[in-house]
Each structure stands twice: as C-alpha cells, then as structure tokens.
Structure 1
Amino acid sequence: MKVLIWNEHRHEQLNEEVAKIYPKGIHGAIKSFLETDDIEVETATLDEPNHGITDERLAETDVVVWWGHLAHGEVADEIVEKVYQRVLEGMGLIVLHSGHFSKVFKKLMGTGCDLKWREADDTERLWVIDPTHPIAEGIGEYIEIEKEEMYGEHFDIPVPDELIFVSWFTGGEVFRSGCTYRRGHGKVFYFRPGHESYPTYHQKDVQRVIQNAVRWAKPTAREFSSYGNAQPIEK
C-alpha cells in the first residue's frame, strides 16, 4: 500500500515552538509511525512544485493523509480537483484536525465545515462510540489528551456515514471527532486531534487511530464503475 502524507508545512517554519515539537515537520512525525513493511510512505508539502502532487504520484497513491491550517487558500484549485477525482475513483483520504477547512474536504462534504474553537489548553477526552469499527481497534473506552485546541459543535458537516469518536472538552463542549464518509468509490475519514502547538501526534493512541484509518481507507480491489450511455446486456 502506498500512502502520501500532505502537509502545508508552514507552522514548523514560522514558529520555533512548533519546530521543537515536530522537528521533521508534522508530515515527518506521521510518516515515522505509519511506515511499515507493507506500507510505503511519501510526503509532500505546499511549497513544492504542484504542491508535491503530480498525476503520476496520485495514480500510484492508495491513501492521502491531509493536514493544513494557515494556507488553505493557497492550494491550487486544479490540484484540489485532481485529489477529489481520485477519491471518487477509490483513493482513500484521511483529513486531520484543521484540514476540515481544506478545499478538498469542503468540496467532498458540500458544506461550510465551520465550527467553534478555542486555544486554552483544554483536556480532550475522545469517547469511542463504535467499538466494533476497525478504526477503533486497539483503543480503550476513550483517548485522553492532556492539552489540545478545543473544537465545538455545531460542526457544519453532513451527517456522517459512521460516527466513531465524540470528544468532550473541559470547557464543556462536545464534538464529532471521528467521522467516515463514502464518496464515489473512495472512503474519507475525518479525525479531529492534532493542533500544531501540542505534541498530539506523538501520543500512541492517536497514532493507532491514524494507522487503523489508513488501512480502512485503502481502495477495494475492483475496477472503477463505468457510466454514461450503455448498450443492453440482453438481446
């Protein structure tokens, strides 16, 4: 399986504290725990030519992991369209944290994807509400993150196909933090944790969820459906 981790890679260059937490970038941190004998991982960032996303690379990619925050508007529309089309053809997409505002996620959802937020060192408790789902495999009743950015409802997304995690924060808010969708032949998973100024992606349970999600989202072994005018099968 081939995975491409896309990260805009701006916070790590602009903020020394973020660079200390993620010295190889958020994409590098995620690559370090995703890469295994059966998963080949590459990375791409916003400031590379074509944002590091070429037709050839996309054609070979089974799952894209997407992290963005500061520069959603700088992602070229033609690149967004290519990723969108590949999802419809069967490529998996894992959208992390502030990627909820990315062009590609909003295009796939068809909604504004807005929410409430607060940076105040809230404790986050992600409750597993679908313990039978493969994305929750190996996770206990909940994941507790000591300090995280708060996201609160209402989260302007379509009703998820499956809701796996719901977060509670010490400020009293709740949030749908683990949502799956089918779009065309592709599978999409949104996972909330991962603010850049906290070491969230170094936490083992968070890593396990992303590992599980990548395996869940891989394409099924079948040809893409044909559409348009069709001749009758029966004479």
Structure 2
Amino acid sequence: MALGSYRAYVNGFPVTSNSPLVIGDPSGSTFKCDLKDFMLVLNDEQQLYRVLFPSYVALVEDLARELVEKLLSQKGAKPNEFVGLDPKLPMDEAAEQWITFQPVETWAMVILKFGGRGWSSFQGGRRGVVEAVTIRNLCAHGIPVINKKALNRLASASTQSQRLPSVGDQIVLDRATFSKHVATLRRFARSMADSVANMPDMPEGLTVPIVSESERRAP
C-alpha cells in the first residue's frame, strides 16, 4: 500500500471511543504504539521519515555482514584482510562485530575492493553513503541538527567541490531528501553485492576457517 493510501486509511479509522487505543503488529512482533502518537508521526512527514530511515541503513549493514561471511567462507578471503576483525570468534559473530564497530568508510572499501570496485562505482559515492549513515545516527539519537562531530565526518568524506552544512543546521528529511538517501543506499548495496557475486568461488572442498575447533575450545 502506498504511503498516501495508508495514511488516508489510518486517518479514516472510525474511532468513537475516548479510551486509549494501541496499535499493534499483526505479524507477531512486539511493536505497540498509542494510536494518537502513531497518527501524529504518520501525518508529520519529517518525523515519519526520521522514524523510517534508520531501517534502510540497517538493511545495508545486514547485507554487508552477509557479504563478509561469504567472502570468508566462499571466496577465499583471509581474516587478516579485514583489519580489526576478531579471528577467534565464529565467522558470523566476527562479521557482526566488524560491521558494527568499524565505520562504513572502512568496511565498505574492503568489500568493494575485493571485486575491483570503489566509491566511484556508483552514483553518490563516499559522500552520499557517509551522509546517509551520519543522518541515520543523528536521527537515531534524536539530534535534530548537524553537530560538530557530524560535520567533521562529512568533511572527511567530501571533495572540495562538495558543499558542506554548518554546525546547527536543521536536518531536513522530507520526501525528496529521504528518496535521495535511499537511492544512494540502494546503489551502494547493489555495487557491494555485485562486487562479491562476480568473484570466483574457492575450489570445492577448500575452506578458510576463521578459527579452528581447538582454538574455539581453548580457555
């Protein structure tokens, strides 16, 4: 259902009771929200996109974790090629922690380079991805303006010709800006996925364990 149709659908609920009403998730998740609060966010475009946007960045990070595991288990990558990755952890945990604690500027280049790609391989490039992640971080922490830390990160990811915001500038996340960031993230994700998919697999039967069973059992 398109957003406009869904908004009209929710706003058209025939609510006559004055008692508090709670919105739940029929799919079975633990999501619960007061109907009035839900409708306030739904009808405030800026607030709505601030709530939705972090999920898009999280999906890209989940993809990156899967790609790191695939590089290690199927493509012949070695743990020491991922600077900061803990080789004593099981592969899935190592990939999880590496993507979580390394900045996107680091892990993206590692994944892209395996397939001979880089920031110039997709529209938006480094600045676009770093800007999207920075905005996500600010939104997730309820920060409505660009702070010094965010500005410094954007500056390090920008060329001299790319315009920078100023400290204190309001974060604008309307439909157009939201769509721009999501489009950049999609191109970024596609470039990473293609980079890994186009690499040859290791010969059948050959594996590169991230940690041996004896090491895993060691105290």
When you count strand as a share of all residues, which structure comes out higher?
A: 1
When you count helix as a share of all residues, which structure comes out higher?
A: 2
The verdict on a shared fold, with TM-score over 0.5 as the criterion, is no
Structure showing greater Rg: 2
Higher relative contact order (CA 8 A, sep 6+): 2
Return the TM-score normalized by structure 2: 0.29
